């Protein structure tokens, strides 16, 4: 068996051990298939903050996205300059925990515009010093840094399939730049997602 076919083996769901009813079909874990990598440039000089939202310790920090690039097997292009931001929510100023809420536009090399909406979390891992979250470079060994990503692409384009996937972003911070590996969840590994 090749290593490629091994990657596509189905793994039974742990949920099968917790079914209280007989007759429920056995389920399997979904597969993750890589869509792209983004390296985003942030506009650190344009950051604004709204403190004490609703009279609480919560703050809203607006982090403008200056630009960046996207590259993957079926997509290549840029983040349109100043096309969006992350409207991050800091729940407690003494903890390294941030709710992410980003929106920006990609322009592919064949000149198709795609809106990206990403919501998720940025927080230190278990037992990791809170100060780590303030560094310009953080790794997966230090942080929980994930997003749920939704796309709005022209349905009649070669990117229309993005509209119908459940995608996640797995992230690190490198020299102040978010690096996002985007994957889609699928039950059909190795098969391209179809346009709507």
Report pLDDT digits (tens) over 84-119.
Answer: 999 999 988 888 899 999 999 999 999 999 999 999
Residues 6+ apart with CB under 8 A from 161: 192, 193, 194, 195, 196
The Cβ of residue 106 has, within 10 Å, a number of other Cβ atoms equal to: 26
CA-closest candidate to residue 105, choices 88, 82, 121: 82
Distance CA 28, CA 38 (A): 29
What residue ranges do the domains of the chain occupy?
31-186
| Radius of gyration (C-alpha) of the chain in whole angstroms | 19
Integer CA distances (angstroms), 188 to 1, 13, 60, 167, 182, in order: 19, 16, 39, 14, 17
Measured CA to CA, the distance from residue 40 to residue 68 in angstroms comes to: 4
CATH class (in words) of the domain with range 31-186: mainly beta
* 26 vs 8, higher pLDDT: 26
User: How does residue 136 score in pLDDT terms, banded at 50, 70 and 90?
Assistant: very high
User: What is the share, in percent, of the chain residues with pLDDT greater than 70?
Assistant: 96
Angle CA 79–83–86, to nearest 5: 90
Mean pLDDT of the chain: 92
* Residue 102: per-residue pLDDT: 98
Band of residue 7 on the pLDDT scale cut at 50, 70, 90: low
Helix (H, G, I), strand (E, B) or coil at 11: coil
**Count of CB atoms within 10 A of residue 55's CB?**
6
């Amino acid at each position: 068996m090749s290593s490629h076919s091994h990657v596509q083996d189905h793994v039974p769901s742990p949920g099968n051990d917790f079914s209280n009813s007989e007759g429920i079909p056995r389920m399997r874990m979904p597969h993750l298939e890589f869509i792209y990598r983004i390296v985003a440039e942030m506009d650190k000089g344009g950051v604004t903050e709204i403190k004490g939202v609703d009279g609480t310790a919560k703050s809203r920090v607006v982090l403008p996205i200056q630009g960046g690039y996207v590259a993957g097997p079926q997509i290549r292009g840029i983040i349109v300059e100043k096309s969006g931001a992350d409207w991050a929510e800091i729940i407690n100023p003494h903890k390294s925990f941030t709710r992410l809420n980003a929106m920006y536009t990609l322009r592919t090399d064949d000149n198709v515009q795609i809106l990206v909406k990403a919501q998720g979390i940025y927080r230190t891992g278990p037992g990791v010093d809170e100060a780590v979250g303030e560094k310009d470079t953080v790794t997966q060994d230090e942080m929980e840094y994930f997003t749920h990503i939704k796309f709005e692409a022209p349905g009649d384009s070669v990117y229309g399939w993005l509209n119908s996937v459940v995608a996640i972003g797995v992230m690190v911070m490198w020299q102040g730049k978010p690096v996002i590996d985007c994957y889609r969840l699928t039950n059909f590994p190795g098969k391209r997602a179809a346009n709507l």
